[in-house]
Structure 1
């Protein structure tokens, strides 16, 4: 179980955002898997496994919240920004825009999660926290999800017009991520984490996938 020194409202809020993000990823990847079940069974199986892994990550962060505060009000709460992003991603799948959903989840959101979890892991290591195995499993799985997303998008054959449409679809997700980072900035500061390069890394990941 992940625990933080000097527990605070900011730390609890940060863990809540991580929990909400993992729940989003579990739900959306499960929907992606169902969408691709017939047309691409191999990718569908990967996404089904991702959904299970994200559910495990969510259980870890939920347990961490309860360890930090047994009466936490966050364990069953939804985050409005992430809820909005989930609706956008699921709407893209419902309308057959699977590439947009993978770009939004596996490329953009997973990159954000990987950045945050990696920085959190560094902070925990400074405090000599244990549970290295669980922390390493979560980080490695997040990296695998992100790598899959970049490769999937890079392997698609887009026309110039469809590529431009995908790039434009990123704008609303980037706006939400920017708002989300502002929301958790006090929590990140309390953990000595600087998210200044997060948006730049996400943008680089988008263009790398679509190059």
Structure 2
């Protein structure tokens, strides 16, 4: 079953990360201060929480716009996984006593402050614009499925880029492991969504 590999990867990330949510403040940093507000650890937690929130919103929109079981199952899996991970990352910021919004703006921890943003709503790599989110909410059936799969593929590609940045830059061990798990799970889902698009006579956006 083509969902099996994705499900296993996602389950591994959730079990590993969920089991240590409340110990992350000290993981790999025994005897030291929590991460600084401008650190990669804090920046990734803040920015990926926002990134994940949009993915959850997209998943719930398409769930109500199609009866296709494959798309609805994928949307549900994405919504549950990313809502869970978002809660963990916000919880870590609370444990560290750090703000959930950076004064330097999104992506500053990757040296990309100001790379996007503006009125279209695309604050970070791969995020859909406000106009694209509104369009998704107007489509039904196959059109909704294709547009969702294209948007989510872009979203995952941006998420993978950000997670790889954390793998390279973060210092908290459990956060690095969560980021690596995100890379593996989302790359697997990108392949799955590419196949699903092909089944619908479409392809990922260039």
TM-score range for the pair, normalised by the shorter chain length: 0.5 to 0.7
**CA RMSD across the alignment:** 3.4
User: Structure 1 residues 138, 74: closer, same or farther in 2, change over 3 A?
Assistant: same
Q: Deviations over 1:150-183 (max 9, x none)?
A: 222233225xxxx8xxxxxxxxxxxxxxxxxxxx
User: Structure 1 residues 154, 22: closer, same or farther in 2, change over 3 A?
Assistant: same
Aligned-pair CA distance for 1:134: 4.1
Aligned-pair CA distance for 1:26: 0.8
Residue of structure 1 in register with 2:200 after alignment: 156
Q: How does 1:57-68 map to 2 (within 5 A)?
A: 57-68=85-96
Work out whether residues 22 and 55 of structure 1, in 8 Å CA contact, stay in contact via their aligned partners in 2: yes
In structure 1, which of residues 37, 41, 49 is the aligned counterpart of residue 77 of structure 2? 49
Work out whether residues 37 and 98 of structure 2, in 8 Å CA contact, stay in contact via their aligned partners in 1: no
Residue of structure 1 in register with 2:37 after alignment: 8
Query: What TM-score, normalized to structure 1?
Result: 0.58
Q: What are structure 1's unaligned runs of at least 5 residues?
A: 164-204
Residue of structure 1 in register with 2:161 after alignment: 115
Residue of structure 2 in register with 1:30 after alignment: 60
Aligned-pair CA distance for 1:44: 0.9
- Distance in 2, matches of 1:88 and 1:146, equals 23
Q: Deviations over 1:64-110 (max 9, x none)?
A: 32233x251439xx986347936333322222142223212x21111
Work out whether residues 60 and 76 of structure 2, in 8 Å CA contact, stay in contact via their aligned partners in 1: yes
- Distance in 2, matches of 1:122 and 1:10, equals 12
User: Structure 1 residues 73, 94: closer, same or farther in 2, change over 3 A?
Assistant: closer
Q: Deviations over 1:14-48 (max 9, x none)?
A: 43221100010011112112222x2x112211211
Query: What TM-score, normalized to structure 2?
Result: 0.59
Q: How does 1:123-138 map to 2 (within 5 A)?
A: 123-124=169-170, 127=171, 129-130=173-174, 134-138=178-182
Work out whether residues 92 and 101 of structure 1, in 8 Å CA contact, stay in contact via their aligned partners in 2: no
Structure with higher helix content: 1
Q: How does 1:166-181 map to 2 (within 5 A)?
A: none
